[in-house]
Amino acid sequence: MPNRPVPPSRSVAVGTNPERTRSHNRRVVLETVRQHGQLGRSDIAVLTKLTAQAVSNIVAELVEEGFLTELGRRRTARGQPPVEFAVNPEGGMTAGMEIAADHVTTVLVDLAGRIRAQRIAPLADTTVAGVQKTAAAELVAVRREAGLPERLLGCGVVMPGPFEIEGMNSVGTSPLPGWAGQDAAQLLQDALNTPVVIENDANAAAVGEHLHGLGRNLRHFCQIYFGAGLGLGVIVAGQPYRGAFGNAGEIGHIPVVLDGRACACGGHGCLERYASFHALAETLREAGLVGAGPEEVARLHAQGHPALAGWIAEAAGLLAPVVTMLENLFDPETVILGGEMPDTVIDALIAAMAPLPISVANRPWRTIPRVQRGGTGRLTAALGAAALPLLDTMTPKLDRVSLIPDASASASG
């Protein structure tokens, strides 16, 4: 008998009742309310497996501290209607900062995920002191634009990876000289005077897509990110997978062409030398098109420029088996493509990959495409950076319980 279709697993945060886990349970309650939009105390208790008294105490604290807001009573057919609560957008702000080779992008996001302010500033001095100075000035400026919110929960910072790998930089020469061996988080925390979480761009992009884009309703997905090079962000059970040293997902340095083009990592034929925005710009320069940014690339694609069409065909041919490899390794619900690349070019890449090689993702009952374009556009890494302090505040690091108890067992194999 063939296996019956199994829907993607759904899970919820589960709390524990001992008093010593109170901080953990606060995060459980916050995440649960954030996920559902608005809930009554009894709903929260059922979803989190916490006692009604524990939920009542925690909700009261979170309302008093400004993280939750009381909405009033829900309309019901009979009985006493419950009071419902939601995450308070004004309960705090988080900043997200993307430090690139030539610019700094800063966003300020409230607890509801709305962008309150956004700035892009040139980065003329990429030394440690120069980055500290620019970052501090930009955080002050973006907070001023948002009306100087009193509660800043922290700042997530996206920096080019990989981290702490001798002899390996991102594409080309090191975009941030002088940072090797430095405690970037501490240096930026000293400059910004707020807690700082450091992340590479692909991991941050996956977090941004998870909270703001296609990944909102997904628990397991991979994101191929077109940034300085080519990176991979992996969301496993709703959490980003970083690896032991923050370098998980460096697919850009996987060799795909034997004795191919020299790469900054010291190898040859690496994927990002063929399938990245840097590689595309290189192809266009060889065709006499210098300085083509995302807007120009979108225009060239609309015109059907042959150099761009040739690059799409080559990159898609190299990306398709990598997508299959990711499916076999992680069994994701989908693989998402996003980043600096224009939407139309990403769509063309996905179309050119078809038909994808067979993998564990070949299920006749699947309703989600194997590969999709992300929904957060070019801001995805900055949004993900802003989400990092939010995750530390609101998302519990805990075991989760499946809402479909038998699904994982029957889906294995």
Q: What is the pLDDT of residue 337?
A: 97
Q: What is the pLDDT of residue 175?
A: 60
**What's the rounded Cα separation, in Å, for the pair 235 and 147?**
34
First vs last C-alpha separation in the chain: 15
Residue appearing with tokens 């390794």: 329
Residues near 249 by beta carbon (within 8 Å), at least 6 away in sequence: 200, 202, 203, 231, 232, 233, 234, 241, 243
Q: What is the pLDDT of residue 14?
A: 55
Q: Which two tokens stand for residue 334?
A: 């989908």
**What's the rounded Cα separation, in Å, for the pair 279 and 325?**
22
Extended strands (E) in 24-130 = 39-40, 68-73, 83-87, 93-99, 103-110, 115-122
* Residue 267 bridge partners (DSSP): none
pLDDT per residue rounded down to tens, the chain (413 residues): 444 444 444 445 555 555 447 777 888 888 788 878 889 999 999 999 999 999 999 999 999 988 899 987 766 656 667 889 998 988 888 999 988 777 888 999 988 778 899 888 888 898 899 999 999 999 999 999 988 777 898 999 988 655 554 444 444 334 677 777 788 889 999 999 999 988 888 888 898 898 888 888 898 999 999 977 899 999 998 888 888 877 788 899 999 999 999 988 889 999 999 999 989 999 999 999 987 788 899 999 999 999 999 999 999 999 999 999 999 999 999 999 998 899 999 999 999 999 999 999 998 889 999 999 998 887 788 888 998 887 665 554 433 343 333 333 333 33
* Residue 99 bridge partners (DSSP): 104
Q: What is the pLDDT of residue 403?
A: 38
Q: What is the pLDDT of residue 17?
A: 54
Contact assessment for residue 55 and residue 33, using Cβ atoms and an 8 Å cutoff = no
Measured in whole angstroms, the distance separating CA 35 from the mean position of its chain's CA atoms is 17
Measured in whole angstroms, the distance separating CA 151 from the mean position of its chain's CA atoms is 23
Residue appearing with tokens 């940034």: 227
Q: What is the pLDDT of residue 398?
A: 39
Q: What is the pLDDT of residue 167?
A: 43
DSSP character string of 317-376? HHHHHHHHHHHHHH--SEEEEEESS-HHHHHHHHHHHPSPPP-TT--TT--S-SEEE-SS
Measured in whole angstroms, the distance separating CA 247 from the mean position of its chain's CA atoms is 14
**Distances from the Cα of 35 to the Cα of 51, 75, 238, 257, 389, angstroms:** 20, 21, 12, 43, 17
- pTM reported for the whole predicted model: 0.75
Q: What is the pLDDT of residue 227?
A: 79
**Distances from the Cα of 182 to the Cα of 8, 30, 176, 177, 178, angstroms:** 41, 34, 11, 11, 8
